[in-house]
Amino acid sequence: MSEVVTFSWGRDEASWSIVIHGGAGAVPVEARARHAEGCKLAAIGGGAILRDGGSALDAAQRAVEILEDDPVFNAGTGAALNTSGEIELDAAVMEGALRAGAVCALPPFTNPIKIARAVLAEGSHILYAGPGAEAFAQAHGFVRTTSEAMTTDAARARFLTMQGTNQSSEGWAGGTVGAVARDSSGHVAAATSTGGTFMKRPGRVGDTPILGAGTYADDEAGACSNTGHGEAVMKLCLAKTAIEWLRQDMHPEDAARAAIALLARRANGVGGIILVDRRGRLGLARTTETMSFAAMSSRDTEPSCGS
Ligand code: ASP
């Protein structure tokens, strides 16, 4: 079984808190500081909203937007390419009052998390796929772009390298982004965004936009964002599993460790998880070589970050 690595911010409660991940994976040593810095900026952006008394939902969304705009992450600009060399995006937001919005197999749009938020705000449905997601986005004023405009040199180079190797859905990208937050009113929220796995087949959807798999939030328990082998995460409804442990008052550090151990043991999957509980306590665990992260709470003057 892969070793479970955790990080601790102390086990105390906080009136507001946010933790961010920049994807489970294997970031090369020389790039790790850059990934951690990206997460730190996202924590600063989300943390500023919480410090000003804003909502967990706004904070989690803002943090993910910042990471979607950062080309080193596999979300928004810089997303992984599928076997056709195209970008298809998955994203979800959920708040603790059980309102949610998500999009999957979305063609290129700069900030899928904003479209997921618009789905939540509009309220008719929770998850739109492919052409339906595109139609929803356009009807709400979002402008479609092109895969070329959102593809970084690094993503293109990786696509060209992998094209010859016949790897498909096993070509796991890393670099998915997510944030979970608790605000000073006691509400929680989660947001996750990804380009999915490298060389996924067109139409493949991972765990990220599936409530209870990659993303979940419940004010009576806490909030969760996952990253890693989407197929394995979905088999275990991993976010909801971890949230049920928080509901029973397991500390998020212990729940994160248990969830990621379960992923390895039962589904032979590797990945990472971030959690916040209804008291603002944080948890993080991974079985991958790296998972960049940053966190900040009402007790801190600046975020702590790492990879
Ligand atoms: N979980 C994502 C997916 O399977 C990938 C990742 O987290 O890197 O689409």
> Which residue reads 């390298």 in tokens?
161
- pLDDT recorded at residue 135: 98
> Which residue reads 């990879």 in tokens?
307
- pLDDT recorded at residue 166: 60
- Closest protein CA for atom 9 of ligand 1: 196
Measured from the Cα of 229, ligand 1's closest atom is: 4
Residue 18's alpha-carbon distances to 122, 138, 281, 305, in angstroms, are: 25, 31, 9, 12
CB of 290 closer than 6 A to ligand 1?
no
CB of 17 closer than 6 A to ligand 1?
no
- pLDDT recorded at residue 170: 46
CATH placement of domain 5-306: 3.60.20.30
CB of 173 closer than 6 A to ligand 1?
yes
Query: Residue 52 phi/psi, 5° resolution?
Result: -85, 10
CB of 178 closer than 6 A to ligand 1?
no
Is residue 227 annotated as a catalytic residue, yes or no?
no
- Closest protein CA for atom 4 of ligand 1: 230
**10-residue stretch averages of pLDDT, the chain, 307 residues long:** 86 95 93 96 98 98 98 96 96 98 98 98 98 98 97 91 65 82 98 95 97 98 97 98 98 98 96 98 96 96 94
As a whole number of angstroms, the distance between CA 49 and CA 129 comes to 30
Q: How far is CA 58 from the centre of its chain?
A: 15
Q: What is the pTM of this model?
A: 0.97
Q: Which of 176, 205, 236 to mutate to test the pocket of ligand 1 (most atoms within 8 A of CB)?
A: 176
By C-alpha distance, which of 21, 179, 54, 55 is closest to 113? 179
Measured from the Cα of 230, ligand 1's closest atom is: 4
Buried b (16+ CB within 10 A) or exposed e, 196-222: bbbbbeeebbbbbbbbbbbbbbbbebb
Q: Which of 27, 197, 233, 235 to mutate to test the pocket of ligand 1 (most atoms within 8 A of CB)?
A: 197
- pLDDT recorded at residue 215: 98
CB of 171 closer than 6 A to ligand 1?
no
How much distance in Å is there from the Cα of 148 to the middle of ligand 1? 21
- What are the residue ranges spanned by the domains of the chain? 5-306
Q: Which residue in 77, 83, 110, 176 is the catalytic one?
A: 176
Q: Which of 227, 260, 290 to mutate to test the pocket of ligand 1 (most atoms within 8 A of CB)?
A: 227
